[in-house]
Structure 1
Amino acid sequence: MKILVVGKGGREHALLTAFDESATETELYSFPGSDAIAEIATLVEVAGLEELIAWMKSNAIDLCVAGEESYLVTGEGLANLCEREGIPCWGPHFQSAQLEASKEFAKEFMLRHGIPTGAATGCADIDEARAAINGEYPTVLKFDGLAAGKGVAVCPDEASAEEFLNEVLVERRFGDGRLLVEECLVGPEVSVFAAVVDEEYLIFTPARDYKRALDGDLGPNTGGMGAVASRQLVSQEVLDQIEQSIVKPTVAGLVKDGLPYRGFIYFGLMLTKDGPKIIEYNCRFGDPECQAVMPIVGGDLAEFCFEGAKGALNASLLDFSDGWSVCLVRASAGYPESSRSGDIISGFDEVDGARVYHAGTRKNAEGAWETHGGRVLAVVAGGETRELAVSAAYAELEKVTFPGMQSRTDIGTFNF
């Protein structure tokens, strides 16, 4: 089976690794890919999506998998272009991907279908946003469009809110777009992923990620400094509640609204005292949650996604470990405000009993690995208990080093 994965980061490295380890014999490709991905997949060098579609058609690609979210809403949309040319695509259509591309679209969808969520007001400028906040703190501010996981701020006071409002609505850090002022929900967070095929779905192993840069959930927001995954993360009772109040009505809402969906969907949830409520949707696997979840997914992921893209959800192709998986991110100097490239990475050969997924790395002229981005890599290890998985992951993380590296020391040790 010829599979092409679209994207270049740690999530795509994890997905391609899972496809490579599937029972189905695979021939893997990636666009745009990375030096690390090139070790397990052939990189496709084309100018853009239209050229990529033509390349896939001429090379008889069996399955296109959307890893990175931006391609789902670029131009006509990756899945739409694939459908036009008869290429099975594991990823939703452009119109369905607005659940991630527009926070306001997603909020209206949630309210329309009675899905528990926080109250929110859409704002076009800073004056409207100030009026919507109305002096009530803490408040949550969300840029309406895609922002690589950095377009959300939980503001405890007026000063922090003004700083973010200025970045988003005056300086336009993320480009043009509206802003959502949202009720601040309180409780433990959990990420639930599901594979959706039309009106059917399969829930994967729940995960919890750590967005703040510093220990104790302090410091600026990031794309994710680590994650844990386990079927023990939430009780079966809570998972059933999430399925009945959020997952099931979301899938039914997609069908009712005529929004075609075949692919992964991410539910970012808050477990409030009033029950689970949804914070946001992502229309693909999360990052770094994907790196935590993939090692505990067994079976034939390649065949599962292939059949799903063609309209059949075959849950019997997959199984899920009952243990724990812990993902630890190493970030470069300056992250998240900036990133430093060119620092030599050492220790890959010393890692034993853990996986290393590359995100922001490259090989230099001498063939050595060096940093090339904000979040550089992730080390992932498992265990029967959370404590064993945390211990194993940190033991292996210590072996991979580079100048200026940043990592949290408390991933998997709190919020349980």
Structure 2
Amino acid sequence: MKVMVIGSGGREHTIVRKIKENKDVTEIFVLPGNGGMAEDATCVNIGAKDIEGMVAFAVENQIDFAVVAPDDPLVLGAVDALEKVGVPCFGPNARAAILEGSKVFSKNLMKQYNIPTAAYEIFDNMEAALTYLDTAPIPTVIKADGLALGKGVVIAMTREEAKDAVKSMMADKIFGASGDHIVVEEFLTGPEVSVLAFTDGKTMIPMVSSMDHKRALDGDMGLNTGGMGTIAPNPYYTEAIAKECMETIFIPTMEAMNQEDRTFKGCLYFGLMLTPNGVKVIEYNCRFGDPETQVVLPLLESDLLTIMQHIAKGTLAEAEVKFSNKSACCVIMASEGYPQKYETGFPITLPENNETIYIAGAKKEGDAILSGGGRVLGVTEVADTLAEAIQKSYATVETVSFENAYYRKDIGQKALAAEV
């Protein structure tokens, strides 16, 4: 069986490694992949947004199944295009991917179907947004409507910051057309939880909860990044909260999308805030989160590809989905200076056993693997307890080296404090 995975980061490397466990798989192609994945799959130089290119490749190479992992190709309709030529896919079609593709759509959906979320206002006129901010409660959250590489959200602590964010999105167009419409949202407080869920539009099976560490520096200081590390499960996410989420958020979201004739099939990501007034949705993503995937999938004991095939067929209820009771920790090793200016092109030294190291940004030159991005790799370890998983991850980090490597030293500490 030939499988094609679209994407190039640590998330995709984790998915590839998990799919490799299926004995029926003969070949895995990653489009475009990166130099650090070459041992696990064949990297093909076709960009994740080159839908015409990926469709032609799939037909020519008689691909049996495709996994579309990143947000951009999902929103652009990669699944629709591949299914049109007879390639079954894991991932939502474009109509369903709008759940992440438009924050205006997702906020209005939650309002219409009584799914708990932060209070909000929508603007397509900059002057109206600035006038509103004269009296809006501060702090507040400003969000660009469309995709912005995970950077389209500003938490403004002052009116001046809020207005600057609006101007940069709507006037300066720092996110292009994604800033044509913006959402100004109530600032929520409480622990954050990420929950990924498998769904075929009829059945919803949440995966193990996780906790992301988005800030660049220790102590949750510094700029927001794509994620500097994750742990799973999240100790704040109790059985009672999981039940509340299933009843008030997960199932209602699945049913709302069905009502809108936008049936969602794939991985639905729920970004949640456990507020003093109950659980609320901060955001939806239409795909596996990165780096949450790097701790969630290593805990999956069932066969990932089989689950994905069931979702594509609409038979998720028949699939075995089992997670271990262990804990996982992923520490991201980045290039110093990320998420702003940083240098790449330095040789990466990896330990001989690197099955739990997922490469996010690297290129291959001869036999050498060189750093090739802001986030370079994720070191994941699994253990019986969270404390052990964290300790093992940092021990493995010590065996990895490249010039200007930077990582946070406190991944998982907040979770450990919550366990006490």
The answer to whether the superposition gives a TM-score over 0.5 is yes
> Which range is displaced more, 267-276 or 406-415?
406-415
User: Separation in 2 of the partners of 1:40 and 1:403?
Assistant: 25
Distance 2:403 2:165 in 1: 30
Corresponding residue number in structure 2 for 1:383: 383
- 1:71 equivalent to 2:73? Answer yes
Instruction: Kindly provide the amino acid, as one letter, of the partner of residue 289 in structure 1.
Output: E
Question: d(CA) in 1 for partners of 2:118 and 2:21?
Answer: 40
Once residues 49 and 297 of structure 1 are traced to their aligned partners in structure 2, the CA distance between those partners, rounded to angstroms, is: 30
Maintained 8 Å contact 1:351/1:396: no
Aligned equivalents of 2:305, 2:26: Cα separation in 1: 8
Q: 8 Å contact 2:202–2:314 — kept in the other structure?
A: no
Tell me, yes or no, if the aligned pair for 1:23 and 1:300 is still in contact at 8 Å: no
The match for 1:404 is: 404
The alignment partner of 2:329 has SS state of strand
Write the mapping of 1:153-168 to structure 2, written as runs, cut at 5 A: 153-168=154-169
1:135 positional shift: 4.6
Q: Deviations over 1:134-178 (max 9, x none)?
A: 252111111111112111121111343244334322322211222
Q: Could you tell me how far 1:314 is from its partner in structure 2?
A: 4.5
Q: Do the aligned partners of residues 231 and 224 (structure 1) sit closer, same or farther apart at CA in structure 2, a change above 3 Å counting?
A: closer
Q: Name which of structure 1's ranges 151-160 and 99-108 shifts more when overlaid on structure 2.
A: 151-160
Report the equivalent of 2:206: 203
Which segment drifts farther, 118-127 or 198-207?
Answer: 118-127
Select 1:194's aligned residue among 193, 197, 220: 197
Aligned mates of 1:164, 1:223 — CA distance in 2: 19
The one-letter code matched in structure 2 to 1:155 is: A
Deviates more, 1:166-175 or 1:254-263: 166-175
Aligned to 2:287: 284
2:339 matched to which residue of 1?
Answer: 336
Q: Distance in 2 between matches of 1:252 and 1:26?
A: 37
Partner of 1:5: 5
The answer to whether the 8 A contact 1:227-1:326 is kept is yes
**Aligned residue number for residue 227 of structure 1:** 230
Deviation, structure 1 residue 27: 2.1
Q: Does the CA-based 8 Å contact 1:24-1:302 persist in structure 2? A: no
In 1, are the aligned partners of 2:344 and 2:371 still within 8 Å (CA)?
yes
Deviations 1:267-310 (A, max 9, x none): 00000111110011000000000011111011211111112112
| Gap runs ≥5 in structure 1 | none
1:404 Cα deviation from its structure 2 partner: 2.0
C-alpha displacement of 1:321: 0.8
Matched letter for residue 146 of structure 1: L
Deviations 1:8-46 (A, max 9, x none): 111000000000023543421111111122221122344
Q: 2:260 aligns with which of 250, 257, 267?
A: 257
Tell me, yes or no, if the aligned pair for 2:104 and 2:183 is still in contact at 8 Å. Answer: yes
1:124, CA displacement in angstroms? Answer: 2.4
User: Which residue identity lines up with residue 58 of structure 2 in the other structure?
Assistant: M
Change (3 A) 1:378 1:57: same
Structure 2 matches for 1:129-140, cutoff 5 A?
129-133=129-133, 134-140=135-141
1:37 maps to amino acid: M
Equivalent of 2:188 in 185, 190, 214:
185
- Specify the alignment match of 1:116 in structure 2: 116
- 1:202, 1:192 → 2: CA distance? 10
Distance in 2 between residues matched to 1:156 and 1:100, nearest whole Å? 25
Cα gap change, 1:315 to 1:167, in 2 (>3 Å): farther
Q: Counterpart of 2:405 in 1: which secondary structure? A: coil
Equivalent AA in structure 2 for residue 61 of structure 1:
I
Distance 2:73 2:166 in 1: 27
Equivalent residues of 2:306, 2:319 under 8 A apart: no
Residue identity in the other structure for 2:106: A
Mapped partners of 2:348, 2:404: distance in 1 = 11
Which residue does 2:147 correspond to in 1? 146
Distance, in Å, in 1 between the alignment partners of 2:126 and 2:340 is 23
Tell me if the contact between 1:188 and 1:271 (Cα under 8 Å) persists in the aligned partners. Answer: yes
Structure 2 vs 1, CA of residues 146 and 192 (structure 1 numbering), >3 Å: closer, same or farther? same
Identity %: 38
CA contact (8 A) 2:334 2:377 kept: yes
Match of 2:351 in 1: 349
Q: Does the CA-based 8 Å contact 1:4-1:31 persist in structure 2? A: yes
Distance 1:339 1:123, change over 3 A: farther
1:14 aligns with 2:7: no
Deviations 1:216-235 (A, max 9, x none): 11111111111111275521
Q: What secondary structure sits across from 1:286 in the alignment?
A: coil
Q: Which moved more, 1:116-125 or 1:219-228?
A: 116-125
The letter for the 2-side match of 1:99 is L
Contact persistence 1:301–1:317 (CA under 8 A): no
Is the Cα–Cα contact under 8 Å of residues 24 and 303 in structure 1 kept in the other structure? no
Alpha-carbon separation, structure 1, partners of 2:407 and 2:95: 37
2:212–2:231: 8 Å Cα contact kept in structure 1?
Answer: yes
Q: CA separation in 1, counterparts of 2:224 and 2:252? A: 30
1:353-372 to 2 correspondence within 5 Å? 355-364=356-365, 366-372=366-372
1:302 matched to 2:288? no
8 Å Cα contact 2:310/2:319 also seen in 1 = no
Task: Determine the C-alpha separation between the residues in 2 that align with 1:351 and 1:393.
Answer: 13
Shift of 1:351: 5.7
264-273 or 224-233, larger mean C-alpha shift: 224-233
The answer as to whether partners of 1:190 and 1:271 remain within 8 angstroms in 2 is yes
On the 8 A contact 2:310/2:318 being kept in 1, the answer is: no
Q: State the alpha-carbon separation in 2 of the partners of residues 233 and 389 from structure 1.
A: 18
Q: Please give the TM-score of this superposition, normalised by the length of structure 1.
A: 0.94
SS class of match (1:61): coil
Structural RMSD (CA): 1.8
* 2:330 matched residue in structure 1: 327
Q: Distance in 1 between matches of 2:130 and 2:406?
A: 35
Matched with 1:394 is 394
Are 2:27 and 1:27 aligned? yes
Map residues 98-113 of structure 1 onto 2, 5 A cutoff. 98-113=98-113
Gaps spanning 5+ residues in structure 2: where? none
| Alpha-carbon shift at residue 316 of structure 1 (Å) | 4.1
Matched residue type, 2:347: I
Tell me how far apart the structure 2 counterparts of residues 331 and 86 of structure 1 sit (CA, whole Å): 39
Q: How many residues align?
A: 411
